[in-house]
């Protein structure tokens, strides 16, 4: 080991070894992240395993750290009933990043996957804009409230997708998402974000989930056509809104339970993941 004509000093030697080890660790994490799926929830879906999560309205960094160490599978950050504040969302997502976990696991898969429920109010332009802003800071999927029919589900999927390259098998439904995800690239920690940021299961390698909230009699009646939309990654039943929209004060009403069971049966028949709040 030489540095000119003089032996390398101990401090320089240790600094060199430290840099080399850091480079090896970074290379190891990068290599494993190229093969390990980033979206833990999709991993669980593909293994037919249940997933458990929490609905949160708290954007604080204290809550971000608590959620990252909670042992849950996912967190649903509510921007429908809480303020639609993308800057606070970005800080929250960064606050959920556990460097210790990344080092111990050797990959970039979050222990607790962050999803966002957007307001989805207004027309198509508002929904597309909301989806783009949330995804561009790094969310791993969106839960769309009050989906009523196939057309709305198709718009939701298209809002998440980038426009596809000509000739690919999964060209349709064509994406509407604008391309400038520098914050998401940083947060995910991958170079090939544009390749990975597609909807599962339409793209089997996709890392994004488009989840449809079923909260009305219309949605229940149209559940088969909603879940048949390519790119729908799951159904989330909202029992409180569903019971209210059906004219009942409680989800325990037999008619509401029958509607919930109809949605569940359709999801089971078509092998679509289904969730409900407890």
* Residues annotated as catalytic (active site), given as ranges: 81
What is the rounded CA–CA span in Å between residue 97 and residue 91? 10
Token duo for residue 259: 């509607």
- Which 3 state secondary structure label does DSSP give 103? helix
Contacts of 211 (CB under 8 A, 6+ apart): 115, 141, 142, 143, 144, 233, 234, 235, 236, 275
- Partners of 209 in beta bridges: 141
Read off φ and ψ for residue 113, nearest 5 degrees: -85, 130
Q: Which helix (H) or strand (E) holds 23?
A: helix 10-33
What is the rounded CA–CA span in Å between residue 246 and residue 240? 10
What is the rounded CA–CA span in Å between residue 93 and residue 134? 11
Token duo for residue 86: 């993308």
């Amino acid at each position: 080991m030489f540095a000119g004509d003089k032996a390398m000093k101990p401090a320089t030697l240790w600094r060199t070894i430290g840099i080399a080890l850091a480079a090896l660790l970074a290379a190891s994490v990068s290599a494993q992240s190229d093969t390990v799926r980033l979206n833990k929830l999709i991993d669980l879906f593909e293994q037919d395993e249940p997933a458990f999560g929490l609905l949160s309205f708290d954007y604080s960094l204290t809550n971000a750290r608590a959620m990252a160490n909670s042992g849950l599978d996912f967190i649903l950050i509510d921007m429908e009933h809480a303020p639609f504040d993308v800057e606070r969302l970005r800080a929250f997502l960064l606050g959920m990043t556990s460097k210790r976990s990344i080092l111990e696991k050797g990959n970039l898969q979050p222990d607790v996957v962050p999803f966002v429920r957007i307001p989805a109010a207004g027309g198509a332009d508002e929904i597309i804009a909301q989806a783009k802003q949330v995804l561009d800071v790094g969310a791993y999927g969106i839960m769309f409230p009050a989906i009523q029919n196939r057309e709305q589900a198709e718009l939701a999927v298209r809002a998440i997708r980038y426009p596809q390259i000509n000739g690919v098998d999964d060209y349709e439904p064509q994406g509407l998402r604008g391309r400038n995800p520098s914050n998401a690239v940083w947060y995910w920690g991958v170079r090939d974000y544009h390749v990975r940021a597609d909807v599962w299961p339409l793209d089997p390698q996709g890392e994004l989930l488009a989840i449809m909230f079923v909260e009305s009699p219309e949605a229940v009646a149209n559940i088969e056509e909603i879940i048949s939309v390519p790119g729908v990654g799951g159904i989330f039943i909202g029992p409180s809104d569903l019971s209210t929209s059906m004219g009942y004060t409680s989800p325990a009403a037999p008619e509401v339970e029958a509607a919930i069971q109809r949605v569940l049966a359709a999801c089971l028949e078509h092998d679509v993941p289904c969730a409900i709040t407890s």
